[in-house]
Amino acid sequence: MIKLELPQKPTELTAKLQAQKTTEFINSGKKKKVWGMEWLKKAVLEMSFGKCCYTEIRLNEESKYMEIEHFYPKSKYPKKVLEWGNLLPSCKKCNIT
């Protein structure tokens, strides 16, 4: 597992946007992927030097791509769904196990 240092929160992730998207997630029955913004994915990926936080494989190469993993499960902690520090870069294999 890679050690991650939490960088500054992206400027685009304002309190207003976070609240709006969190409400959207909760109102969708916790099914809508509100964390799919490209700038957010990029910021999360940069914190791990382009690697999965668990296996350290390089992401965004052929047949590998990043998914956003939630340290605190979004099913139990829906209010943390877009909280900076709860978002981790993960490969698909790690994100579904």
pLDDT single digits (tens) 37-84: 999 999 999 999 999 999 999 997 766 788 999 999 999 999 999 999
State the Cα–Cα distance between residues 78 and 49, nearest whole angstrom. 27
Q: Do 68 and 87 touch, CB atoms closer than 8 A?
A: yes
**How do the domains of the chain map onto residue ranges?**
15-25+34-96
State the Cα–Cα distance between residues 62 and 43, nearest whole angstrom. 20
Percent of residues, the chain, with pLDDT higher than 70: 97
Residue pointed to by tokens 């913004």: 37
Residue 63 confidence (pLDDT): 66
In this prediction the pTM is 0.88
Task: Report the mean per-residue pLDDT for the chain.
Answer: 91
Q: Do 87 and 35 touch, CB atoms closer than 8 A?
A: yes
Among positive and negative, which fits the CA dihedral 94, 38, 47, 13? negative
Dihedral over alpha carbons 46, 50, 53, 55 (to 10 degrees): 180
Residue 11 confidence (pLDDT): 96
Nearest CA to 12 out of 33, 41, 32 is that of 41
pLDDT at position 9 over 70: yes
Three-class DSSP category at 20:
helix
Residue 97 confidence (pLDDT): 63
